[in-house]
Chain A
């Protein structure tokens, strides 16, 4: 399992660069992760990321899909595409320090 350093934070990642250790994450790191993939964080983006973190634990370590963020989290799909352009589900998972979502929908 590779280890990489993002903005001074040493983290364990998978082959693609997604974090593998839930507890290595904090919001300072999330800011660096977002910056690394060119996402600007605002209050709404933070709310979505925090939902991702909470829901992952609540669902026994399952990364929520975009659909779930919208239905269970109450975030508008359209908004999520604006906040995390093109690939919202993967980008949110990355910034939240979670594995890529596995579900199809």
Chain B
């Protein structure tokens, strides 16, 4: 046991992150690939980092109101998909069979919920409440024939790729 002279207080270094920015490009619309971006964005916001999420291509499904509640997870093409217990892999020949995708989606949703991690729409709401910025990709909006009315409320604007590059000047970038 050692006694310290001065009051020993954690260094929250609030100003150290001043100006630090993180930009996350969410380009996947599978349920499993929706989460990495959301979890990292949430962590960054909790550390006081300015955070921007840009939804593009398949990732656009994460912010379309009519699709965001219904993202799917498929074991097809995913050789790391195991049975819930142990190291048994699901054979790829079985992965595309009818019923596999709903079962896998159900299982993944349950595992995520068991950890207290919210579903995608709630998670986005939490990120916005934490000060995160959501941006929709112009080209994806045009391809999907959607406008702001079709997108979840927290989305600030539909912007093009150059807007995004401008917006994220000096940011650290993650492409998911």
Q: Which of B51-59, B103-111, B113-121, B136-144 contacts A (4 or more CB under 8 A)?
A: B113-121
Across the interface, do A36 and B12 meet the contact criterion of CB distance under 8 Å? Answer: no
Tell me which of B10, B17, B115, B130 has the highest count of chain A C-beta atoms within 10 A of its own C-beta. B10
**Residues from 1 to 15 in A contacting B, C-beta threshold 8 Å:** 1-7, 13
B130 & A36 in contact (Cβ 8 Å cutoff)? no
0/1 string, B40-78, CB within 8 A of A gives 1: 001100111000000000000000000000000000000
The 8 Å CB contact of B10, one of A2, A18, A76, A104, is A18
Taking a contact as CB atoms under 8 Å apart, the answer to whether B48 and A105 are in contact is: no
Minimum C-beta distance from B31 to chain A (A): 15
B129 touches A78 (CB 8 A): yes
Chain A interface residues toward B at CB < 8 A: 1-7, 13, 16-18, 36-37, 65-68, 70-71, 76-78, 81, 85-91, 94, 103-105
Q: Is the CB of B131 within 8 A of A87?
A: no
Q: Indicate if the CB atoms of B39 and A86 lie closer than 8 Å.
A: no
Which residues in chain B, 1-20, are within 8 Å of chain A measured between CB atoms? 1-4, 6-12, 14, 17
Task: Select B8's contact among A17, A70, A91, A104, beta carbons within 8 Å.
Answer: A17
A77-B8 contact given A66-B46, A68-B116, CB 8 Å threshold: no
